[in-house]
Amino acid sequence: MDIEQVKTFLAVAANGSFLEAASRVHVTQSTVSARIRNLEQALGARLFSRNRSGARLTPAGERFLRHAKTLVLTFEQARHDVGLPSRYRGSLTIGARIALWDDLLPRWAGRMRKVAPDISLNTEIGFEDDLMRRVIAGTIDLALMYSPQQGAGLEVEYLFDETLVLVGSEPDRELPDEGYVYVDWGPTFYTQHRKVFPGLERPAQTANIGWLGLQLILANGGSCFVPERVAASYLRGGCLFRVRGVQTLRLPAYVVYSTEIDSAVLDKALGELRALIGEGAGTGLGPRRSREDVGSGGDAERFG
């Protein structure tokens, strides 16, 4: 299977047109048609149905779409690894939720550059479903997230409790109000949120990441829950204020990696990450708990 055929398939799927795909991949429309035809022959299934409005994925094409993305990611990672300059002994790809890239993981990357300058780092932002899928596919070595899933061949390691605080644009805000933005921090947060605000109706505004919630309240006023370590600079600068009378919430953070990888590079990265978490005093990280504590109570629904 030619990787250019797979890339062309993704271009057609994204644009819904052989002509548009040809422009995106810088080849003629006839070349696009030939690549798709050869790919369909190799797979033994028709991937697109064509009509006057363009090209639509068939059910077989829909099923192949996820595999095509993984194939291209795997190829690009392989090309990167094979083409590493001789001064690097290996590479590491780490992906995480955007909130974990705020201060915490950049500091980890800085430590890695100092203690292991011969390791090339590939850093990415993602959501749980995509991060889990890529760990399983082997295109990400380490993934940090809040709502992992257990799976064969995977290690889900608890790291720390994120402390979520309610911050607002005014020092005397009362909750709930029309400016409240509900940030979707996952199922554990949802359960705690329901207990703290049992009668709260669906807010007028929601956000799927904390960064977006912050942008909304900074621009328009309001309040939202964000990690304490993320909020710290805004609180010091007087841009935002803690909403009084509202308890903090806890959000466990985890690292996920494959147990089938025996790599000194991976071990070094995990060691530096654990050391950084262990030095977390004053960073807004909640205290580490035992593995038994993590597997009980409020987190049980995630792994049940």
Domains and CATH numbers, the chain: 3-70 (1.10.10.10), 82-160+252-303 (3.40.190.10), 161-250 (3.40.190.10)
Start-to-end CA distance of the chain, whole Å, equals: 40
Lowest mean pLDDT among 7-11, 179-183, 292-296: 292-296
Give residue 295's pLDDT. 42
Given the structure tokens 């935002």, which residue do they identify? 240
**pLDDT on residue 83:** 60
| Model pLDDT, residue 298 | 36
Q: How far is C-alpha 222 from the chain's CA centre?
A: 26
The residue with greater pLDDT, 304 or 72, is 72
Cα separation, 259 vs 155, in Å, equals 6
> Residue 286 pLDDT > 60, yes or no?
no
Cβ–Cβ under 8 Å, residues 38 and 5: yes
Given a contact cutoff of 8 angstroms between Cβ atoms, the answer to whether 9 and 38 are in contact is no
Please say if the pLDDT value at position 43 is more than 80.
yes
Confidence of residue 50 (pLDDT cuts 50, 70, 90): confident
Tokens 């028709």, located at residue: 46
In the chain, the largest separation of any two C-alpha atoms, in whole Å, equals 66
pTM assigned to the model: 0.69
**107 pLDDT above the threshold of 90:** yes
C-alpha torsion 93→227→235→94, nearest 10: 0
Q: For the chain, give the percent of residues with pLDDT over 70.
A: 87
- pLDDT band at 281; cut points 50, 70, 90: very low
Q: Contact 226/184 with Cβ under 8 angstroms? A: no
Token pair, residue 89, equals: 């002994």
Spell out the residues 6+ positions from residue 263 whose beta carbon is closer than 8 angstroms to its own: 90, 141
If pLDDT is split at 50, 70 and 90, which confidence band does 301 have? very low
**Mean pLDDT, range 270-291, rounded to an integer:** 70
Q: Is 110 left (phi over 0), alpha (psi -120 to 50) or beta?
A: alpha
Give the type of residue at 138.
G
| 284 — pLDDT class (breaks 50, 70, 90) | low
Residue 92: what pLDDT?
85
228-236 helix and 210-220 helix, angle to the nearest 10 degrees:
20
Distance CA 80, CA 21 (A): 25
Q: What is the mean pLDDT of the chain?
A: 85
Alpha helices in the chain (DSSP H): 3-15, 18-25, 29-43, 59-82, 104-115, 128-137, 187-196, 210-220, 228-236, 264-278, 291-294, 300-303
The yes-or-no verdict on residue 246 having pLDDT over 50 is: yes
The confidence score (pLDDT) of residue 304 equals 23
